[in-house]
């Protein structure tokens, strides 16, 4: 599996609870934090759910 890096670029303050839980599940707790995950369908689905808050970082 390929690895992808995800960075939180927008605040979670005014987001619904389900989006906050998705960020927690991805391991993103702070702004500009970068986490690395394997590119599985589950992870890609979570990223697409909060795509307005995160960005994929070049590895």
What's the CA gap between 24 and 29, in Å, rounded? Answer: 6
Report whether pLDDT(1) > 90.
no
Report whether pLDDT(16) > 80.
yes
What does the pLDDT average to over 22-49? 97
Per-residue pLDDT at 31: 96
Per-residue pLDDT at 59: 66
Residues 6+ positions from 11 with CB-CB distance below 8 Å: 31, 53
Report whether pLDDT(41) > 90.
yes
What's the CA gap between 44 and 32, in Å, rounded? Answer: 19
8 A C-beta contact, residue 32 and residue 8: yes
Domains, the chain, with CATH or none: 3-57 (3.30.1390.20)
């Amino acid at each position: 599996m390929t690895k992808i890096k995800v960075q939180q670029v927008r605040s979670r303050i005014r987001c619904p609870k389900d989006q906050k839980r998705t960020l927690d599940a991805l391991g993103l707790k702070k702004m500009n934090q970068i986490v690395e995950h394997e590119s599985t369908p589950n992870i890609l689905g979570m990223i697409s759910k909060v795509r307005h808050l995160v960005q994929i970082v070049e590895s």
